[in-house]
């Protein structure tokens, strides 16, 4: 059994959620934080430098794009110089030649007049300073979730990301396979985190949300017969058809493109195997896929809903809002802890600690 505390960090598009858990301590008393996502923090810093009319040098590690990419394009649109190391520039796009056409200058040496701006999904020094201010030591074990589209310079990153989920379902779709001690080479965002925190357990944010939602006491009685888990995140909506320890289907869309009516329509057809991958992709979502032996007629109707945008699912029939440990914003963190303890063969039922 591992000794010491575990830091679980769920890095989303709107927030980054942190939980520090130590065996033997009540979960209710654990350190919990919900802060702006790293992409939001870096974008804010970049926009402040843009407002000052400064040239900027991006360095550090590949991280989530989103808000950072938008801020970079705004900076360039103002006619201001933007330099970046090749590693940092991959945050903006997998194609460095395309990034250069935007006006980004690739260089390893910081220009003397440019303001340096560090990139990365995990700012270990900042966490150490923050925790030290409250006399909390930095844990020695880590589990981190980020949403990794995968390195795909020649293919739509939506299509590439969902191909992984299709392959996962063809490999039996086991819950235990959602966590990585060593992520695949094409998951470059996860690998950047692993370089910052060697030995960390890694998961996709969507996968961590599913594992966490299943820990809710309302979900446990239905898991063996089959249920639907829906994680309505700030940026992405992810749903899984789960029975026992297996995923039978996966659906992923952009939350900002969903209305309650569209969400209800998609979920209704997803639960029966009638929603198609092409339809979701054409709607600018990621996709929808099922296992080759998808059991049509299995009762997936009971639905567990979590995530900061859960209000989109208000009124869904036969649905409950999950809040494992009494905190829906930490669903992903609880999923990370569960996956970490499973790898450690921890002898105590973590789910029971959240009831």
Q: What is the mean pLDDT of each run of 10 residues along the chain (355 residues)?
A: 89 95 89 97 98 98 95 98 98 97 96 95 96 96 94 86 92 92 94 96 95 92 93 93 95 95 95 94 94 82 92 89 88 95 80 73
Cβ atoms < 10 Å from Cβ of 184: 13
pLDDT of 117 reads 98
Whether the Cβ atoms of residue 294 and residue 323 lie closer than 8 Å to each other: no
pLDDT of 351 reads 74
pLDDT of 1 reads 63
From the list 177, 327, 343, 186, the residue with the least C-alpha distance to 250 is: 177
Instruction: Return d(Cα 279, Cα 260) in angstroms, integer.
Output: 17
Domain covering 148-171+204-353 in this structure, CATH number: 3.30.420.40
- Residues of the chain within CATH 3.40.50 domain(s) are 38-119
- Residues of the chain within CATH 3.30.420.40 domain(s) are 148-171+204-353
Q: What are phi and psi of 307, to 5 degrees?
A: 110, 155
Whether the Cβ atoms of residue 8 and residue 340 lie closer than 8 Å to each other: yes
Q: Are strands 201-204 and 179-180 parallel, antiparallel or unpaired?
A: antiparallel
Ranges of H-type helices in 103-196: 124-132, 157-170, 188-196
Whether the Cβ atoms of residue 78 and residue 52 lie closer than 8 Å to each other: no
pLDDT of 298 reads 64
This prediction has a pTM of 0.94
Q: Using the Cα atoms of residue 141, residue 354, residue 130 and residue 43 in order, give the sign of their dihedral.
A: positive
| Cβ-Cβ contacts under 8 Å for 164 (sequence gap 6 or more) | 150
Cβ atoms < 10 Å from Cβ of 32: 18
Does the 38-119 domain belong in CATH 2.60.120? no
């Amino acid at each position: 059994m591992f000794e010491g505390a575990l830091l679980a960090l769920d890095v989303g598009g709107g927030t980054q959620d942190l939980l520090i858990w130590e065996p033997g301590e009540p979960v209710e008393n654990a350190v919990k934080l919900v802060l702006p996502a790293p992409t939001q923090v870096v974008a804010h810093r970049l926009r402040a430098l843009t407002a000052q009319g400064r040239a900027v040098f991006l360095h550090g590690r590949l991280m989530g794009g989103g808000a950072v990419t938008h801020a970079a394009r705004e900076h360039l649109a103002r006619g201001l110089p933007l330099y970046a190391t090749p590693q940092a520039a991959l945050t903006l796009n997998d194609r460095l030649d395309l990034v250069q056409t935007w006006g980004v200058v690739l260089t390893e040496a910081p220009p003397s007049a440019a303001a340096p701006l560090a990139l990365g999904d995990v700012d270990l020094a900042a966490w150490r300073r923050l925790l030290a201010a409250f006399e909390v030591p930095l844990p020695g074990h880590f589990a981190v979730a980020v949403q990794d589209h995968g390195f795909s310079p020649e293919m739509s990153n939506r299509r590439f990301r969902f191909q992984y989920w299709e392959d996962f379902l063809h490999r039996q779709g086991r819950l235990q396979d959602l966590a990585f001690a060593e992520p695949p080479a094409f998951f470059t965002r996860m690998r950047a985190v692993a370089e910052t925190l060697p030995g960390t357990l890694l998961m996709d944010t969507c996968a961590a949300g599913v594992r966490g939602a299943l820990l809710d006491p309302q979900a446990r009685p239905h898991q063996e017969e089959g249920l639907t888990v829906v994680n309505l995140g700030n940026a992405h909506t992810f749903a899984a058809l789960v029975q026992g320890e297996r995923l039978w289907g996966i659906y992923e869309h952009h939350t900002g493109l969903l209305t309650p009516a569209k969400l209800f329509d998609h979920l209704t057809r997803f639960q029966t195997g009638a929603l198609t991958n092409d339809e979701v992709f054409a709607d600018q979502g990621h996709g929808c896929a099922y296992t080759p032996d998808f059991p049509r007629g299995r009762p997936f109707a009971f639905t567990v809903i979590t995530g900061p945008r859960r209000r989109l699912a208000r009124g869904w029939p036969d649905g409950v809002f999950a809040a494992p440990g009494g905190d829906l914003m930490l669903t992903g963190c609880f999923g990370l802890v569960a996956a970490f303890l499973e790898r450690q063969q921890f002898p105590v039922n973590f789910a029971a600690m959240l009831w």
